[in-house]
Amino acid sequence: QHQRYIRNFSIVAHIDHGKSTLADRILELTDTVDKRDMQDQLLDNMDLERERGITIKLNAVELNYKAKDGHTYEFHLIDTPGHVDFSYEVSRSLAACEGAVLVVDAAQGVEAQTLANVYLALDDDLEIVPVINKIDLPSADPEMVRKEIEDVIGIDASEAVLASAKAGIGIEELLEQIVAKVPAPTGELTAPLRALIFDSVYDDYRGVVLSVRVFEGTVKPGDKIRLMNSGSEYEVTEVGVNSPNPIKRDMLMAGEVGYITASIKDITETRVGDTVTAVSNPATEALPGYREMVPMVYAGLYPTDNAKYVDLREALEKLKLNDAALEFEPESSQALGFGFRCGFLGMLHMDVVQERLEREFNLELITTAPSVTYHANLADGTQKKVENPSDMPEVASIRSIEEPFVKATIMVPSDYVGAVMELCQSRRGQFVTMDYLDDSRVNVIYKMPLSEIIFDFFDKLKSSTRGYASLDYELDDYQESDLVKIDILLNGEKVDALSFISHRQFAERRGREIATKLKKLIPRQNFEIPIQAAIGAKIVARTTIKAYRKDVTSKIHTGDPDRRAKLLDKQKRGKERMKSVGTVNVPQEAFMAVLQTD
Ligand code: GTP
C-alpha cells in the first residue's frame, strides 16, 4: 500500500544551527534538484530570506529516496524558520507531519529555541529524530551535546545522527533513520476528504494556492470542494506537489502533502487552519486547526501617498494569506491620514511585513513606533484595550494601567549570569528561577514587561554575553505598572503618531531624549519649529529646530556635478519617506525615534 512508503517530517532547530543547509544536502542526495540548479539555502526562495540569511517562511517539498531496504520512499520535507517571531510557521508545519528532525549545533548545544521548537513537536506527538550538526567545527563537542539533549530535553539521543550539513556527512544515515523511525501516515483513502490548510499564497493567475496535508480521502481536479469553516465552495483546477518547483498530479491522497488550486479569487474566504472537504461526500467534523496567534506588538502602517490606501488594504489581505500571524484593521491618524493598525509577533516580523509589502506590492510606507497592548482600568469600572498610545484615555479617567509581561527563558554560559541579571533588572525584570543545565551553562528565567524586551533587549543581551545567550519568551499575564503617556508637540500641535507610553520613572528623561532626537531628525524648514514633550498638560522638554537659510548644495565647493546630483537625489529620496504633519515634514526615522533607548 502506497502510504507505507510516505514519510512527512519538518526540520526544526534554533536559529543558525543549520536546518536550511541540511535541507540542501537532502535535496542533493535525493537528486531532487539538478546539480546545475543547486544553490545554497535553496528552500529560502524569498529574496528577503536570501539577503538576510534567515528562513522566514515554511517551505514544503516532495522528494524521493531509494532506501537501503530497496524501496523508494516519498518524503515530504518542511523546512521551518528558527527565529522566535516565526514560531507560528513551525507549529503549522508540525501539524502536517508525523516526525520532526531536530537539528542541534554540535558547538552551541541546546538553545532556547531548540527547546521551544521541540516542545511544539512533542505537543503534536511527533517522533523526534535528533541530529547533531556541524561536527566538522573544531569547537564541536558532539558527546556533550548528546548528553545535553538527553538531560535538558529529555529524549533519547543515543542514536542521534552525527552530521555536517556543510561537509555532507551523515546525510544518508539521517534519511535511513527517517525511514525507520518516522511513522508512515495513516488515513482511509475512501473516507470523506479532510485536508488541513497549513499555508497559502496568492498568485495573480491561479488565485489562492492552498498548501495542504491530506488526512483522509483523496482530492483531484474537477472535484467540488468546501472550506469547512468559511463554508465557501470551489471547483479544483489543479493539485500537485512542490519538488521544489510545482509538479501537477492526478490526485492527492490521504497521507500526502501538496497544493490545491481552485480559482479562489476571494481572498478573505481562505484561512490557514481550515479543513478542505468534498461537497459530494463531506466530512462531518473539521480538523482541529490552529490556535489564533495573539500579536505581541502593534504599529501603524500608512502609505506615504494617501491615494494608495486601497492598494495597501489589498496588499495586506493578500499578504495575510501567506502570513497567517499578521493582523490588521483600519485606523486613522490626524498626523498620517488613513492607514492600518497592524499586529505582529515581534520586531523582526514587523520588519519583514513592511519589506514584503514594499517589495511584493510596490508600496511606500511609513510605520509608526510599535507598541504593546495596554489595559486601562477606567474610573467607571470598565477596561479599555489600548493598542495605540494615542488612544490612551485622559489621566483623570484612569484608575490604573496594566501591561503585558512575558516569561523570558535565557540560556547562557555561567560566566555571564551576572551580566544577564543586571540587564534584566535594569529592564524592570522580576527574577523567577535559575537552573544549571550542566557544569557550565545556566537557564535563567525572568518575568519581564513585554515592552522592555521587544525592542532592543535581544541585541543588548547578545552584546553583554559576547553572543552566547539565547532567548525565548512567551506571554505570561498582565500586571499593573505605573505608566504614563507622553505626547510630542510639533509647532504647538500634538502629533498623535508620536505619542508613547513609558514607565513614570523614565518618562521625563525619555521625553527629553526624544525631543533632542527629533530635533536632529526633522529637517529644517524656512520657519522655526518648536518641539515639546508633554505628560498631560505638563511640558517636560522643549527644544527648537531653527529655520534654515542655505541650500544644502551650496556647501559643496568643489562644484563636482556628480556629487551635487547625488546629494540632491539623496535629498529627494529622503523626502519621499516623509509625511507632512501640519506644516512640518517628518521623516520615517522620526516615527521610530521613540524606540531607541540609551
Ligand atoms: P534559520 O533558517 O535562519 O533559522 O537558520 P538555519 O538553521 O537554516 O541555518 P543555515 O542552514 O542557514 O546555517 C546557518 C549557518 O551555519 C550558515 O552559515 C551555514 O553555512 C552554517 N552551517 C550549516 N551547517 C554547517 C555545518 O555542518 N558545519 C559548519 N561548519 N557550518 C554549517
For the stretch 144-153, pLDDT in tens is: 999 999 988 8
- Contact residues for 271 (Cβ-Cβ < 8 A; gap 6+): 197, 227, 229, 230, 324
545-572 average pLDDT score? 58
Q: Residue 18: CB within 6 Å of ligand 1?
A: yes
Tell me the CA–centroid distance for residue 459 and ligand 1, in Å.
Answer: 20
**Nearest atom (ligand 1) to Cα of 164:** 27
Confidence of residue 563 (pLDDT cuts 50, 70, 90): low
Nearest CA to ligand 1 atom 28: 134
Confidence of residue 567 (pLDDT cuts 50, 70, 90): low
**Nearest atom (ligand 1) to Cα of 82:** 4
Length of the chain: 598
At 71-129, the pLDDT tens digits run 999 999 988 887 778 878 888 888 889 999 999 999 999 988 888 889 889 988 999 99
Q: Residue 427: CB within 6 Å of ligand 1?
A: no
Residue 467, pLDDT score: 79
Residue 293 has pLDDT above 60, yes or no: yes
Tell me the CA–centroid distance for residue 268 and ligand 1, in Å.
Answer: 37
Which has the minimum average pLDDT: 230-239, 308-317, 554-563?
A: 554-563
Grid cell listed for 26: 537532502
At 369-380, the pLDDT tens digits run 888 999 999 999
Burial of 577-598, coded b for 16+ CB within 10 Å and e otherwise, reads ebbebeebbbbbbbbbbbeebe
In three state form, how does the secondary structure of 67-100 look? CCCCCEEEEEEEECCCCHHHHHHHHHHHCCCCEE
Nearest CA to ligand 1 atom 18: 16
Q: Residue 78: CB within 6 Å of ligand 1?
A: no
Q: Which residues pair with 326 in a beta bridge?
A: none
306-324 average pLDDT score? 90
CB 216 within 8 A of CB 283: yes
Which has the closest alpha carbon to 410: 460, 461, 463, 470?
470
Residue 268, pLDDT score: 80
Which has the minimum average pLDDT: 150-159, 162-171, 376-385, 523-532?
A: 523-532
Confidence of residue 43 (pLDDT cuts 50, 70, 90): low
**Nearest atom (ligand 1) to Cα of 54:** 3
Q: Residue 164: CB within 6 Å of ligand 1?
A: yes
Q: Whole-prediction pTM value?
A: 0.81
Q: Residue 91: CB within 6 Å of ligand 1?
A: no
Residue 87, pLDDT score: 79
Q: Residue 113: CB within 6 Å of ligand 1?
A: no
572-576 average pLDDT score? 49
Q: Residue 21: CB within 6 Å of ligand 1?
A: yes
Residue 323 has pLDDT above 60, yes or no: yes
At 172-202, the pLDDT tens digits run 999 999 999 999 999 999 999 999 998 888 8
548-577 average pLDDT score? 54
DSSP string, 234-286: EE--EEEEESSSEEEES-EETT-EEEEE-----GGG--TT-EEEESSS--SS-
Q: Which range in 60-74, 126-140, 437-451, 577-591 is most confidently predicted, on average pLDDT?
A: 126-140
Residue 71, pLDDT score: 94
ipTM tops 0.90: yes
Nearest CA to ligand 1 atom 16: 18
Residue 565, pLDDT score: 58
Tell me the CA–centroid distance for residue 101 and ligand 1, in Å.
Answer: 15
Q: Residue 133: CB within 6 Å of ligand 1?
A: yes
- Residue with the bigger pLDDT between 266 and 45: it is 266
Nearest CA to ligand 1 atom 15: 16
CA distance 513 to 533: 10
Residue 549, pLDDT score: 64
Residue 190, pLDDT score: 92
Residue 560, pLDDT score: 55
Residue 568, pLDDT score: 53
**Nearest atom (ligand 1) to Cα of 83:** 4
Percent of the chain with pLDDT over 70: 91
- Residue with the bigger pLDDT between 225 and 123: it is 225
Q: Among 11, 12, 20, which is best to mutate for testing ligand 1, by the most ligand atoms less than 8 A from CB?
A: 20
At 328-351, the pLDDT tens digits run 999 988 888 899 999 998 888 898
Q: Residue 41: CB within 6 Å of ligand 1?
A: yes
Nearest CA to ligand 1 atom 14: 16
Q: Among 12, 15, 16, which is best to mutate for testing ligand 1, by the most ligand atoms less than 8 A from CB?
A: 16
Nearest CA to ligand 1 atom 22: 18
The annotation places the binding site for GTP at 16-21, 133-136
Q: Residue 54: CB within 6 Å of ligand 1?
A: yes
Q: Residue 311: CB within 6 Å of ligand 1?
A: no
**Nearest atom (ligand 1) to Cα of 55:** 2
DSSP structural state of residue 16: T
Q: What is the mean pLDDT of the chain?
A: 87
Residue 492, pLDDT score: 87
Residue 564, pLDDT score: 55
Confidence of residue 238 (pLDDT cuts 50, 70, 90): very high
Confidence of residue 166 (pLDDT cuts 50, 70, 90): very high
Q: Residue 17: CB within 6 Å of ligand 1?
A: yes
Tell me the CA–centroid distance for residue 165 and ligand 1, in Å.
Answer: 8
The annotation places the binding site at 16-21, 133-136
Q: In Å, how far are 200, 210, 355 from 203, measured between CA atoms?
A: 10, 10, 19
16-37 average pLDDT score? 83
CA distance 154 to 437: 12
161-177 average pLDDT score? 95
Residue 574 has pLDDT above 50, yes or no: no
455-470 average pLDDT score? 84
Tell me the CA–centroid distance for residue 20 and ligand 1, in Å.
Answer: 7
Residue 116, pLDDT score: 84
Residue 575 has pLDDT above 50, yes or no: no
- Residue with the bigger pLDDT between 301 and 437: it is 301
56-72 average pLDDT score? 87
203-213 average pLDDT score? 90
Grid cell listed for 422: 543586571
